[in-house]
């Protein structure tokens, strides 16, 4: 579609140009980013958010540059008066009317009026412009896409978890600044009561060096990493701790103590890790399992992996989790073993051997999360396009899925180890503070579910 302008000679007093625009939450966020005006009234939840006045005023330039006089017009001046505020969802009609022409300066003056869907005057003013002297035809251009990446799902988890916290948490070998800061920040947020397990003198020295205030945090002395892991497990059996958090040691060292056949934290299930991901563009958290612990799990292990993830989804308040068993294709192919496992898992869920969720597979990644992709391929499934949980065929695939979502889609990640007596929080040095807090919130919700078998109801932030 092309736009043709109105030249100086063609413009007459009384000519009118008009556009209609609906104010969206994304409009406000983009303008706030561009202008640097972080007034909280603009960032309030919809529909209370107030559109920045200068965004409203900028709509007159859309009419002037596109409609009247149109392409090639340059501004001289613009006066603005604001009578009401525009909010998300308002349908705004922007109109400019020619009220005069000054020959000597080749200036056209325009009365500007902007009203909302109720006909109420929101803004008005007068613009002075220099219209073009020759005809121009402007073809529509394809601009780069803008994506507003919202990360609000973890905020909801934090609000949801706080009434059940803080959770007594053994922080294993907290001998570096990252571990200590993560623990103290979670404590300050009301999520955990940290029990710092490791060499006491080192913990205090690191805290002093980096200005970390330990407050009244309990310190349990343990000289070596393996000793600290074993002591943390013992604290769980003693009832002093209801969760375990990784500090400055390898995950293998911690998990070795967790899975000990004698004195560990084993249950009747295989342990597995579940990432809880805040993916921009998805309205719900997305759970991905197992990308951390089980390298090439056989079918019997996958049964536990699926059930563990279902339990976590239930703990987070998902009433009937939809579980997609991933493979490269969405049809059963004997040449691709993961499709056979997926089909078996789906049938096991149908027969009640896996409980609490709707399970379907094999599903390829696209038709597991995209309703459009599922529709295009003719898939009829309660899960296809709407998966809450993605079960990957092996650790390599899971690692790739998580890192692609993180680094290409801009997702935030949290997560815990499930299937043990208590949640195990495997933090990474690369985790943001927000991700660490979200992992603690997930642990709280899972711990509460382990006690009661019921999820904590979601609370609006």
Per-residue pLDDT of 275-317, as tens digits, reads: 999 998 888 999 999 999 999 999 999 999 999 999 999 999 9
CATH (residue range 152-266): 3.40.50.10950
User: What percent of the chain lies above the pLDDT cut of 70?
Assistant: 98
pLDDT in tens, the chain (461 residues): 568 899 999 999 999 999 999 999 899 999 999 999 999 999 887 677 899 999 999 999 999 999 999 999 999 999 999 999 999 999 999 999 999 999 999 999 999 999 999 999 999 999 999 999 999 888 877 888 887 877 788 888 999 998 987 999 999 999 999 889 999 999 999 999 999 999 999 999 999 999 999 988 999 999 999 999 999 999 999 999 999 999 999 999 999 999 998 899 999 899 999 999 999 888 899 999 999 999 999 999 999 999 999 999 999 999 999 999 999 999 999 999 999 999 999 999 999 999 999 999 999 999 999 988 988 888 889 999 999 999 999 999 999 999 999 999 889 999 999 999 999 999 887 788 888 999 999 999 999 999 887 765 543 33
Radius of gyration over every alpha carbon of the chain, rounded to an integer in angstroms: 29
Alpha-carbon distance of 433 to 76, in angstroms, equals: 48
The pLDDT value recorded for residue 237 is 96
- Report, in this order, helix, strand and coil percent for the chain, each rounded to 5: 35, 25, 40
Domain 270-419 annotated CATH 3.90.1150.10: no
Q: What is the DSSP letter of 47?
A: T
Residue pointed to by tokens 């005069």: 100
Alpha-carbon distance of 294 to 4, in angstroms, equals: 63
Query: What angle, rounded to 10 degrees, do the helices at 299-315 and 433-452 form?
Result: 100
Task: Answer for the pair 328, 392: CB distance below 8 angstroms, yes or no.
Answer: no
The per-type count for the chain, helices as H runs and strands as E runs, is 13, 19
Alpha-carbon distance of 249 to 174, in angstroms, equals: 9
Query: 426-454, pLDDT tens digit by residue?
Result: 988 778 888 899 999 999 999 999 988 77
* CATH 3.40.718.10 domain residues, the chain: 270-419
* CATH 3.10.129.10 domain residues, the chain: 2-139
Q: What is the DSSP letter of 275?
A: E
Q: What is the DSSP letter of 69?
A: S
CATH (residue range 2-139): 3.10.129.10
What mean pLDDT value characterizes the chain?
Answer: 93
Q: Cα(first)–Cα(last) distance of the chain, in Å?
A: 43
Beta strands in 45-106 (DSSP E): 74-78, 81-82, 91-102
Q: What is the pTM of this model?
A: 0.79
- For residue 452, what are the contacts with CB-CB under 8 A and spacing of at least 6? none
User: What percent of the chain lies above the pLDDT cut of 90?
Assistant: 81
């Amino acid at each position: 579609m092309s736009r043709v302008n109105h030249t100086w000679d063609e413009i007459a007093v009384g000519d009118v140009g008009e556009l209609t625009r609906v104010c969206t939450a994304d409009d406000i966020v983009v303008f706030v980013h561009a202008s640097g005006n972080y007034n909280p009234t603009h960032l309030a939840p919809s529909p209370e958010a107030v559109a920045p006045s200068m965004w409203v005023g900028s709509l007159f330039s859309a009419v002037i540059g596109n409609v009247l006089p149109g392409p090639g017009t340059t501004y001289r001046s613009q006066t603005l008066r604001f009578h009401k505020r525009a909010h998300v969802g308002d349908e705004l009609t922007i109109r400019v009317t020619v009220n005069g022409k000054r020959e000597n300066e080749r200036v056209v003056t325009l009365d500007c009026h902007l009203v909302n869907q109720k006909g109420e005057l929101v803004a008005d003013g007068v613009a002075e412009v220099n219209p073009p002297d020759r005809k121009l035809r402007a073809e529509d251009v394809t601009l780069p896409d803008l994506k507003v990446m919202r990360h609000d799902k973890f905020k909801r988890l934090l609000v949801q978890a706080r009434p059940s916290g803080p959770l007594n948490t053994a922080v294993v070998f907290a001998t570096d600044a990252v571990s200590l800061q993560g623990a103290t920040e979670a404590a300050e947020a009301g999520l955990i009561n940290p029990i710092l397990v490791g060499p006491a003198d080192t913990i205090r020295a690191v805290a002093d060096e980096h200005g970390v205030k330990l407050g009244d945090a309990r310190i349990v002395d343990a000289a070596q990493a393996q000793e600290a892991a074993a002591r943390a497990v013992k604290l769980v059996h003693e009832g002093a701790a209801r969760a375990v958090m990784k500090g400055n040691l390898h995950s293998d060292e911690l998990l070795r103590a967790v899975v000990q056949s004698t004195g560990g934290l084993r249950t009747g299930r295989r342990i597995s890790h579940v990432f809880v991901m805040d993916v921009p563009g998805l309205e719900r958290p997305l759970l991905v399992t197992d990308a951390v612990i089980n390298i090439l799990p056989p079918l019997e292990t996958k049964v536990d992996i699926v059930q563990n993830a279902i339990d976590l989804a239930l703990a987070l308040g998902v009433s009937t989790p939809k579980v997609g068993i991933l493979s490269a294709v969405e049809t059963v192919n004997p040449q691709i073993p993961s499709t056979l496992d997926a089909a078996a898992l789906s049938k096991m869920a149908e027969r009640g051997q896996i409980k609490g969720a709707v399970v379907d597979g094999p599903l390829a990644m696209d038709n597991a999360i995209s309703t459009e992709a599922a529709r295009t391929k003719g898939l009829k499934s309660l899960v296809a396009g709407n998966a809450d949980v993605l079960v990957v065929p092996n650790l390599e695939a899971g690692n790739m899925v998580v890192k692609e979502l993180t680094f290409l889609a801009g997702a935030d990640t949290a997560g815990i180890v499930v299937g043990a007596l208590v949640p195990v929080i495997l933090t990474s040095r690369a985790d943001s503070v927000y991700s660490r807090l979200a992992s603690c919130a997930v642990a709280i919700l899972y711990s509460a579910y382990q006690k009661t078998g019921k999820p904590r109801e979601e609370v609006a932030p």
